């Protein structure tokens, strides 16, 4: 393997994937949320730069082509695992997350079965949009988990109704708001909507890969 800048960026993105989860082991919240968000966004940016630089400098390699989709999937899968863990069993979040994970496992298994022939399943433009949508949705959801933790600290164990009464009575400080709703609500709502969009694109691209692979899955007569 040649240690070109594009290949180095891809390796760093792969290493950043478990780093997102490690942030919650070594740092207290909300610092863990902000650091995980920064690491994830930084790694997502390298996803565009490594391919662009490889084409610009004519440094495309088999190693980079192999590792790039693995790094993307590792980032998405680990980040989704962390986010769903800190957001509880919200079905509106769990369902699109399940669809995304199912597709990634299915396509990964399909490519493994096809072996050398899997190279014929070219990455489409829609698949690139899918990855972009996944990463934007996850980044917004990480933002929401950080704000939600700050909200919980401000409420000090009170329910939302009790907290409103305490604020009105002057015994609690109001949460810094984004208009009429708190910032966590906005971030979580937008993040979940984006994750549903990403899940839809993910399933469409998964179906495309399956259809393209059908000629290689037919039984020999």
Query: Which helix or strand (DSSP H or E) is residue 91 part of?
Result: helix 91-114
pTM of this structure: 0.82
Q: What is the mean pLDDT of the chain?
A: 83
> Over 80: is that where the pLDDT of 94 sits?
yes
Compute the distance between CA of residue 137 and CA of residue 158 in angstroms, rounded to an integer. 29
Compute the distance between CA of residue 130 and CA of residue 199 in angstroms, rounded to an integer. 8
Q: How many CB atoms lie within 10 A of CB 6?
A: 24
Distance between alpha carbon 102 and the CA centroid of its chain, in Å? 14
Q: Which two tokens stand for residue 2?
A: 């040649």
What confidence category does residue 198 fall into, taking pLDDT thresholds of 50, 70 and 90? very high
Report the pLDDT value the prediction gives residue 176, as an integer from 0 to 100: 60
Residue-range domains of the chain with CATH: 5-213 (1.20.120)
158: region left, alpha or beta (phi > 0 left; psi from -120 to 50 alpha): beta
Distance between alpha carbon 198 and the CA centroid of its chain, in Å? 10
| 174 or 47: which leads in pLDDT | 47
- Between 14-18, 91-95, 217-221, the lowest mean confidence (pLDDT) is in 217-221
> pLDDT per residue over 116-157, tens digit each?
666 666 667 888 888 889 999 999 999 988 888 877 777 777
The H-assigned helical ranges of 27-90 are: 31-56, 62-86
Compute the distance between CA of residue 67 and CA of residue 15 in angstroms, rounded to an integer. 11
Strands of 101-194 (E only): list them: 177-178, 181-182
Q: What are the backbone angles phi and psi of residue 181, rounded to the nearest 5°?
A: -115, 155
- Most confident range (mean pLDDT) of 31-35, 63-67, 171-175, 212-216 is 31-35
- Averaged pLDDT, 49-64: 79
What confidence category does residue 181 fall into, taking pLDDT thresholds of 50, 70 and 90? low
| Percent of the chain whose predicted confidence (pLDDT) is above 90 | 29
Report the pLDDT value the prediction gives residue 158, as an integer from 0 to 100: 74
> pLDDT per residue over 29-46, tens digit each?
888 999 999 999 999 888
Residue/partner pairs of 123-130 with CB below 8 Å, 24 or more apart: 123/69, 124/205, 124/208, 126/201, 126/204, 126/205, 126/208, 127/205, 127/208, 129/201, 130/198, 130/201, 130/202, 130/204, 130/205
Confirm if 149 and 30 have CB atoms less than 8 A apart.
yes
């Amino acid at each position: 393997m040649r240690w070109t800048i594009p290949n180095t960026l891809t390796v760093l993105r792969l290493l950043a994937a478990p780093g997102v989860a490690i942030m919650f082991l070594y740092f207290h919240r909300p610092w863990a949320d902000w650091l995980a968000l920064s690491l994830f966004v930084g790694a997502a940016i390298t996803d565009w730069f490594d391919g662009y630089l490889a084409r610009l400098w004519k440094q495309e390699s088999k190693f980079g082509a192999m590792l790039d989709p693995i790094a993307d999937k590792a980032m998405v899968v680990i980040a989704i695992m962390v986010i769903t863990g800190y957001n509880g069993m919200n079905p509106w979040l769990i369902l699109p997350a399940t669809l995304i994970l199912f597709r990634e496992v299915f396509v990964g298994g399909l490519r493994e079965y096809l072996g050398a022939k899997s190279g014929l399943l070219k990455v489409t433009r829609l698949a690139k949009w899918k990855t972009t949508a996944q990463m934007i949705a996850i980044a917004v959801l990480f933002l929401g988990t950080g704000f939600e933790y700050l909200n919980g600290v401000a409420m000090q164990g009170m329910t939302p109704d009790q907290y409103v009464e305490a604020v009105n009575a002057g015994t609690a400080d109001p949460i810094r708001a984004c208009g009429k709703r708190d910032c966590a609500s906005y971030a979580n709502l937008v993040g979940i909507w984006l994750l549903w969009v990403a899940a839809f694109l993910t399933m469409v691209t998964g179906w495309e890969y399956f259809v393209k692979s059908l000629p290689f899955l037919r039984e020999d007569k």
